[in-house]
A and B are shown apart, each in its own frame.
Chain A
């Protein structure tokens, strides 16, 4: 079974600075998808960024980018120019590409990293 590990329970960063959140995963599959979700105090899960494993190019979305290292099974999230509104729990998630197999449709989540932005 796949597992996702976020080794940093909490992180903090000064406003306008850059912070990197770590995520590692374990899988025997070669094709899959990785996601970062943000959960603000409202507790609604919001998609931040998505990466296809077959793409070598790292995904970017405005101030958010990833460093995807497939061989190392690492998928870190970099937030540039941190803003107060970035404060939230961040979850890394894995999804198999074998969607026709029962159980493969689920997202496997890490434990989350609580990010605090210091003004």
Chain B
């Protein structure tokens, strides 16, 4: 059963704590992405990775960090430096290539209080 999994579905943290969101795919896709969605808005790119051990900042990378040690996994850490971390986070993956479709995971809702 191929697809993208994200865990957990809901995550609650206290302000000042780092938190890591999981993203795993078994589609054998080279590229992986993290997007953030705020209420009433479209998605904005946080980080992306085209290949293992390489990743690039997106439009809103400040306060976030990622790693890509395995092709299947692309975890996102929301650090205490992120000023407004409460949001819905979506992970996606695709084959490499400009027209490749990005497939999305089910998302993680992060609430920081």
Contacts and interface: CB of A to CB of B under 8 A. Distances in A.
Interface of A: 4, 32-33, 35, 37, 42-47, 50, 52, 91, 93, 95-99, 102-107, 109-112
B43 A43 contact: no
Contact of B88 (A43, A50, A93, A95): A43
19 contacts: A43-B107, A44-B104, A44-B107, A45-B90, A45-B92, A47-B101, A50-B101, A52-B99, A95-B99, A97-B98, A99-B97, A103-B56, A106-B33, A106-B48, A106-B59, A109-B42, A110-B42, A111-B40, A111-B42
A50 B42 CA distance: 18
A32 B58 CA distance: 19
A37 B102 CA distance: 10
A105 B48 contact: yes
Contacts of B107: 43-44
- Most A CB contacts (10 A, CB to CB) among B42, B96, B102, B106 go to B42
